[in-house]
């Protein structure tokens, strides 16, 4: 995955790991003015087309796997199942991305429609829609703030745990990456791991969790009901078709969705060129600019371009995905050296970030003592 060429885009500069500047000479208003007006338009018909398209493709994958894989000789079936899991997880990740857009009110002009579509799509993929919508909104409001961001908050050198030092080797990094990709999202939802420290236990299923405000708590309950309904439907399906069938056809692809989601967001927010800020240095536009686009090759399109339009997304999150590339290209001349896309092949990038981005510290000789950068152990 990934194009593999660092220099295929002029915006990448001579060294993709070179740090981005921290004081933009432009405003959010300047960026919005550079974007064609139609890019801000949301169409419920066009957005719905992508939902229907992805559902049809997902059904085709299901039909082919359910009909033909059981007919294959054993050795070929062992090869066919992983192909199905990858393809199905990929297209379902596209549906998850559309649900994510609903949470940003980028699906249509009607909040009720957005929430209804997002609730169904995310619940079916074991994601509590409203709960995640609100914590994700807080992430967008506080991106790369060491004090207030909601997720991917790196540790300072003095806070690096002993186990991180023990895992600072190739087998340890493999274990860390596998753990992050498979259990990272469920543990984040259940325990707020890698999230903001609230001073008491926080998760995405407790309506009284400190993550949420008073007005959001009833919708957290609705999210829980959605997840419970899907769990019950899964139980009924397992009783009718068998646990092995449900696991192979549905649960493993959903796990793949969670893995793709963690991989995408991890790479968007973990890079040697990106700063983090404490309260003395952080402001909204600095934080929003401290993300990076990634190239997932052919999966960019399958994932509705969320992978390589993430900088734009943090600046203006309500632009629908089918206008995102045009809007991104429109603001790139304004962003200049503040825009970065890393086209390093994804597995290579994942390994590099796991090796190099261990803890953050400010530069000793810098006047910006509240600006922190990644370092390796």
Share above pLDDT 90 across residues of the chain, in percent, rounded to a whole number: 87
pLDDT digits 0-9 by tens, 253-277? 999 999 999 999 999 999 999 999 9
Give the number of domains in the chain. Answer: 1
Who contacts 260 (Cβ-Cβ below 8 Å, separation ≥6)?
89, 90, 93, 303
In this predicted structure, what is the pLDDT of residue 49? 98
Asked if residue 18 belongs to a domain, the reply is no
Q: What gap in Å lies between CA 252 and CA 254, rounded to an integer?
A: 5
Q: Are 343 and 5 in contact (CB under 8 A)?
A: yes
pLDDT confidence of residue 364: 85
Show the domain range for 57: 37-375
Distance, in Å, from the CA atom of 58 to the CA atom of 52, rounded to the nearest integer, reads: 10
Q: Write down the pLDDT at residue 164.
A: 80
Question: Could you give the 3-state DSSP secondary structure of residue 284?
Answer: helix
Residue 27 lies in a domain: no
Interval 185-204: pLDDT, tens:
999 999 999 889 998 999 99
The answer as to whether 85 is a domain residue is yes
Produce one character per residue of 22-47: b if its CB has 16 or more CB atoms within 10 Å, e if not.
eebebeeeebbebbeeebeebeeeeb
What would the mean pLDDT of 211-230 be, rounded to a whole number?
Answer: 97
In a domain, 159, yes or no: yes
Whether residue 372 has pLDDT greater than 70:
yes
Q: Is the pLDDT of residue 8 over 50?
A: no
User: What are the C-alpha distances in Å from 237 to residues 230, 231, 297?
Assistant: 10, 10, 35
| Across 5-22, average pLDDT | 67
CA-nearest of 234, 228, 311, 235 to 267 is 311
Q: Does residue 225 fall inside a structural domain?
A: yes
pLDDT at 134 over 90: yes
Q: Per residue, what are the HEC states of 208-252?
A: CCCCCCHHHHHHHHHHHHHHHHHHHHHHHHHHHHCHHHHHHHHHH
17 lies in a domain? no
CA distances to 43, 55, 56, 107, 110 from 49, rounded to whole Å, are 10, 10, 11, 11, 16
Report, in angstroms and rounded to the nearest whole number, the Rg of the chain calculated over CA atoms: 21
Average pLDDT taken over every residue of the chain = 94
Q: Is the pLDDT of residue 235 over 70?
A: yes
Distance separating alpha carbons of residues 319 and 337, to the nearest angstrom: 23
Instruction: Tell me if 16 is assigned to some domain.
Output: no
Helix (H) or strand (E) holding 194: none
Task: Please report the pLDDT score of residue 9 as a whole number.
Answer: 54
Tens-place pLDDT, residues 42-74: 999 999 999 999 999 999 999 999 999 999 998
Q: What is the pLDDT of residue 230?
A: 98
28 lies in some domain: no
Query: What gap in Å lies between CA 13 and CA 250, rounded to an integer?
Result: 42
Query: First vs last Cα of the chain: how many Å apart?
Result: 27
Q: At what angle do helices 129-141 and 217-241 cross, to 10 degrees?
A: 130
């Amino acid at each position: 995955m990934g194009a593999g060429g660092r220099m295929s885009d002029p915006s990448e500069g001579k060294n993709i790991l070179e740090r981005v500047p921290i004081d933009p000479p432009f405003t959010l208003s300047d960026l919005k003015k550079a974007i064609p007006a139609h890019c801000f338009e949301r169409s419920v018909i066009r957005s719905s087309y992508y939902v229907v398209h992805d559902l049809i493709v997902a059904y085709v994958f299901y039909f082919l796997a359910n009909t033909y894989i059981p007919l294959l000789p054993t050795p070929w079936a062992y090869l066919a199942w992983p192909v199905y899991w990858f393809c199905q997880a990929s297209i379902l990740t596209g549906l998850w991305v559309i649900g994510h857009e609903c949470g940003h009110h980028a699906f249509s002009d009607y909040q009720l429609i957005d929430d209804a579509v997002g609730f169904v799509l995310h619940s079916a993929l074991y994601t509590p829609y409203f709960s995640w919508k609100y914590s994700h909104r807080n992430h967008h409001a506080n991106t790369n703030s060491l004090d207030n961001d909601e997720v991917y908050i790196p540790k300072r050198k003095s806070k690096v745990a002993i186990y991180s030092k023990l895992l600072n080797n190739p087998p340890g990094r493999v274990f860390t990456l596998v753990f992050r990709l498979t259990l990272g999202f469920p543990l984040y939802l259940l325990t707020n791991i890698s999230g903001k420290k609230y001073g008491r236990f926080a998760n995405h299923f407790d309506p009284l969790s400190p993550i949420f405000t008073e007005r959001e708590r009833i919708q957290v309950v609705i999210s829980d009901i959605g997840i419970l309904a899907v769990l019950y439907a899964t139980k009924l399906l397992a009783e009718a078709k068998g646990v092995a069938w449900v696991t192979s056809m549905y649960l493993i692809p959903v796990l793949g969705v969670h893995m793709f989601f963690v991989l995408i967001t991890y790479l968007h927010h973990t890079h040697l060129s990106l700063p983090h800020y404490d309260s003395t240095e952080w402001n909204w536009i600095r934080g929003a600019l401290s993300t990076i686009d990634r190239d997932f090759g052919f999966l960019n399109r399958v994932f509705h371009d969320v992978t390589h339009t993430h900088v734009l997304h943090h600046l203006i999150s309500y632009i629908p995905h089918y206008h995102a590339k045009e809007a991104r290209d429109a603001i790139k001349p304004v962003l200049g050296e503040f825009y970065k896309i890393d086209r390093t092949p994804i597995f290579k990038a994942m390994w590099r970030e796991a090796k190099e981005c261990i803890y953050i510290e400010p530069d000793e000789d810098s006047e910006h003592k509240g600006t922190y950068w990644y370092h390796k152990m």
